[in-house]
Amino acid sequence: MKAAIVNIAGSAPAYGEFREPVAEAGEVIIQVEASALSRLTMARASGKHYSSTTDLPLVPGIDGVGRTIGSSQRVFFMLPRAPFGGMAERVPVASAHCVPVPAGLDSITAAAIGNPGMSSWAALKERARLVSGEVVLVNGATGAAGSLAVQIARIHGAKKVIATGRNPEALSKLMQLGADVTIALTQEKEALEAAFEKEFAEGVNVVLDYLWGLSARMVLIAAARAAEGGVPIRFVQIGEASDSNIELPGAVLRSSSLVLMGSGIGSVRMERLIAVTGEVIQAAIPAQLNVETEALPLSEVEQSWTREAGRRRLVFDPRK
């Protein structure tokens, strides 16, 4: 079958022939219609993510949309059995890792929404336990995942949503998607610190962080100062688009009631991640979740692997 194939860790996958999957106990074979390119997919394929496999060659793609061979049910699937992945014509997946896709939601959009939507939905409901009427700050909201986080915070009853990012045009669009306040991370340090301190002084309950690095450090310090009064601020770390490391004074945690946690594979039980993904997929149409997509033939995977897509989610279609 045709597939994207990673032969060397860290290199872009090549389009070629990969062996046909055979279902094991509890699995189904899925005829893939769409699989999105996400930071998690790239990190796992490079071997740099904590959940990566060392088996090579492998097919990348942590999830996707397709039809089960035999029943033709259209499903969103997660975490295929390695070394197989979503970026192939067919893929073996545990039947427990599949959720149905509603008829009105096209496969490209469903594939684009599933992972980033799950990341913020799980962070808000499974980790932060967001309560309706609370205030949410999304650090790194101008990408596909962050923009969905703004919309999903609103779905779950956030009274106010604050969005940060570096792209002025994308920040402006976030105001149409549910953000009440935007903060440009391109400001001078003093102005940025003042902007964070102003928002935390007015009240922030939950932070969703997609960036880590310097901006996350500044957010944590501002949050700790605001949390000195004993009102916990829940900081949920989701991604590291800016940096994988951070320097943080221990006093930031000792001097406040700041609650620091992560959300992802390992911090949320797999059955809950799957259930949350199903909730996102089912909510996509009634909640009018908005995500910009660009559909590409799977044969273009090598030249598109590292292309900057901004707020758009690149989705590969093995049928083309």
Please tell me the predicted confidence (pLDDT) of residue 40.
83
Please tell me the predicted confidence (pLDDT) of residue 241.
83
Task: Report the C-alpha gap between 58 and 16 in whole angstroms.
Answer: 12
C-alpha dist (Å) from residue 10 to 45, 117, 174, 271: 7, 26, 33, 30
Please tell me the predicted confidence (pLDDT) of residue 50.
61
- Answer for the pair 98, 28: CB distance below 8 angstroms, yes or no: yes
Task: Report the C-alpha gap between 304 and 142 in whole angstroms.
Answer: 20
Count CB-CB contacts under 10 A for residue 254.
9
Could you tell me the domains of the chain?
2-114+268-317 (3.90.180.10), 117-262 (3.40.50.720)
C-alpha dist (Å) from residue 147 to 14, 83, 174, 182, 313: 30, 31, 7, 12, 11
80 Cβ contact partners less than 8 Å away, ≥ 6 residues apart: 61, 62, 86, 91, 92, 93, 97
Task: Report the C-alpha gap between 30 and 69 in whole angstroms.
Answer: 6
Percent of the chain with pLDDT over 70: 95
Is the pLDDT assigned to residue 234 strictly greater than 60? yes
Residues 294-302: what's their mean pLDDT?
95
Please tell me the predicted confidence (pLDDT) of residue 52.
57
Please tell me the predicted confidence (pLDDT) of residue 282.
97
Please tell me the predicted confidence (pLDDT) of residue 243.
86
Task: Report the C-alpha gap between 110 and 231 in whole angstroms.
Answer: 38
**pLDDT band per the 50, 70, 90 thresholds, residue 229:** low
- Answer for the pair 210, 149: CB distance below 8 angstroms, yes or no: yes
User: Which tops the pLDDT comparison, 292 or 229?
Assistant: 292
Residues 237-257: what's their mean pLDDT?
89
Task: Report the C-alpha gap between 240 and 210 in whole angstroms.
Answer: 6
* Tens digits of residue pLDDT in 300-309: 999 999 886 6
**pLDDT band per the 50, 70, 90 thresholds, residue 9:** confident
Task: Report the C-alpha gap between 161 and 163 in whole angstroms.
Answer: 6
Residues 221-249: what's their mean pLDDT?
87
In terms of Cα–Cα distance, which of 261, 259, 195 is closest to 227?
Answer: 259
Task: Report the C-alpha gap between 86 and 42 in whole angstroms.
Answer: 12
Percent of the chain with pLDDT over 90: 79
* Tens digits of residue pLDDT in 101-127: 999 999 999 999 999 999 999 999 999
For the chain, give the mean pLDDT: 92
Is the pLDDT assigned to residue 47 strictly greater than 70? no
- Residue 52 burial (10 A CB sphere; 0-12, 13-18, 19+): middle
Sign of the torsion formed by the C-alpha atoms of 191, 249, 135 and 312? positive
